Structure 1
Amino acid sequence: MTAAGHPGLFITFEGGDGAGKTTQASLLEDWLTDAGRPVVRTREPGGTEVGTLIRDIVLHHRGEVAPRAEALLYAADRAHHVETVVRPALERGDVVIQDRYLDSSIAYQGAGRVLGRDEVRDLSLWATAGLLPDLTVLLDLDPTVARQRLDADEKPFDRLEAERETFHVRVREEFLALAAAEPARFLVLDATLPAAELTAAVRDRVAGLLG
């Protein structure tokens, strides 16, 4: 039983676009699965059928989405996702590995869209009945380097990726502020380090949580 009161382990990966969250989440999933741990790998938005529809609106809708509407859509996705996927898995004793959670909303909508940290955090905590991760891995990356990585991928930018650098600077600063406020929950890693070093650091922290 974790300190959060459930038999499973809830791990989230956070950071700006291009920081390598998906890669490190996949490597962690493979390591835990090979060790015989039951793993549920998911993401926000888009971890459910409802979430996939919301993801298309918030990331790929060609028209404008008002900032408060955007925050509410993310919260709606999160409420449904936690209720139908995350909590059931944690109650079974599974390890949930998730790409983005409420810290992304606080950083992107609270700071990036300038809606306010407390307001967006309170909205997400209400939507999830207060569920926080046992561990949040923050892959920290300078927005200029992140943009270079995204450009190299040659993929179309989504609505958030396409925002100006000042937006992404605010997002990064907010992520770091969140980590500083909750050092016990966060593991902050320099995303420019070799992937193998990042993987080792994540595994070491997770191994400690699993006992």
Structure 2
Amino acid sequence: MIKKPKFIAFEGIDGCGKSTQAKRLADRLIQQGDTVHLTAEPSTRPIGKMIRDIFAHKLDADDRTIAALFVADRLDHVINHEEGILANLEKGITVICDRYYLSSYAYQGSLVPLDWVMNANALCVELAKPTIHIYIDIPVELSFERLQNSRAFLERYETMENLKRVRDMYFEVITLLKEQEHLVILDGTQSIDAIAEDVWEEVRRL
């Protein structure tokens, strides 16, 4: 269906359903005959594992350190020769990423200066800007309810107060970047199938 490889990033606060939609889209593109690399951030590589350990309360770190770790993990995710985003795109493979630099802008930018976070991510933006960012929006209350029902324990940042801060920051960033990036906002309170159709309508026009 897609004539040339695209880079599609899914965004949203925790519990919005973006991981489900990323997988649904990957499956549908594969059924249409496309080759797809489905990936996520934090990555599964060493720096990404360190971030996951911090979120799971196995390690402690300052918010500024976490922001810097995300930049390092993202750059490695973009340029590593084994399974990096650029390596896949250069092979003609469409890349679908569950979170990318907008997540850093929203999550870390709500805790440390946004301009610092954006400047730190500038090389990643230059090297691999997504063809489209798909932001799936849900209310904070629904996010927190889903997290409580699906988690054995809540991760770092998964509080009502922080989720609200992050959602507000997402909209601030989307407004800031709307002339520079291809951004779409989808209603995440719909059924999984309805959201998947909205995603498909956006992607098939690329």
Same fold (TM > 0.5): yes
Q: Is the 1:44–1:51 Cα contact (8 Å) retained in structure 2?
A: no
For residues 143-185 of structure 1, the C-alpha deviation after alignment (integer angstroms, 9 at most, x for no partner) is 1111111112143222122xx3222111101111222333451
Residue 60 of structure 1 contacts residue 158 of structure 1 at CA under 8 Å; is this kept in 2? yes
Counterpart among 162, 165, 170 of residue 170 in structure 1: 165
Letter in 1 for 2:118: R
Q: Does 1:187 align with 2:149?
A: no
AA in 2 matched with 1:60:
A
CA distance in 2, matches of 1:108, 1:31: 30
Aligned ranges 1:50-89 → 2 under 5 Å: 50-84=46-80, 85-89=84-88
Is 1:104 equivalent to 2:129 in the alignment? no
- Map of 1:40 onto structure 2: 37
Residue 63 of structure 1: CA displacement? 4.6
- Structure 1 stretches lacking a partner, 5+ long: 1-6
Structure 1 segments of 4+ aligned residues over 6 angstroms from their partners: none
Structure 1 pair 82–128 and aligned structure 2 pair: CA distance change class (3 A): farther
User: Separation in 1 of the partners of 2:202 and 2:23?
Assistant: 16
CA distance, structure 2, for counterparts of residue 207 and residue 200 of structure 1:
10
> Structure 1 residues 202, 127: closer, same or farther in 2, change over 3 A?
closer
Q: How many angstroms does 1:65 deviate by? A: 1.1
Shift of the alpha carbon at 1:52?
A: 4.0
Q: Does 1:197 align with 2:194?
A: yes
TM-score for the superposition, normalised by structure 1: 0.87
Q: Percent identity?
A: 31
- Aligned residue pairs total 199
Taking structure 2 as the reference length, the TM-score comes to 0.89
1:21-69, Cα deviation, whole Å (9 max, x unpaired): 11101100100000110100000002x4224422333312345311110
* Segment drifting more, 152-161 vs 83-92: 152-161
One-letter amino acid of the structure 2 residue matched with residue 182 of structure 1? L
CA RMSD of the aligned region, Å? 1.8
Read off the aligned partner of 1:189 and give its amino acid letter.
Answer: L
Q: Indicate if the aligned counterparts of 1:40 and 1:96 stay in contact, CA closer than 8 A.
A: yes
- What's the secondary structure of 2:109's corresponding residue? helix
Q: Please report how far the alpha carbon of residue 131 of structure 1 lies from its aligned counterpart in structure 2 after TM superposition.
A: 2.4
Amino acid at match of 1:139: I
Paired position in structure 2 for 1:144: 141
Q: Structure 2 stretches of 5 or more lacking a match?
A: none
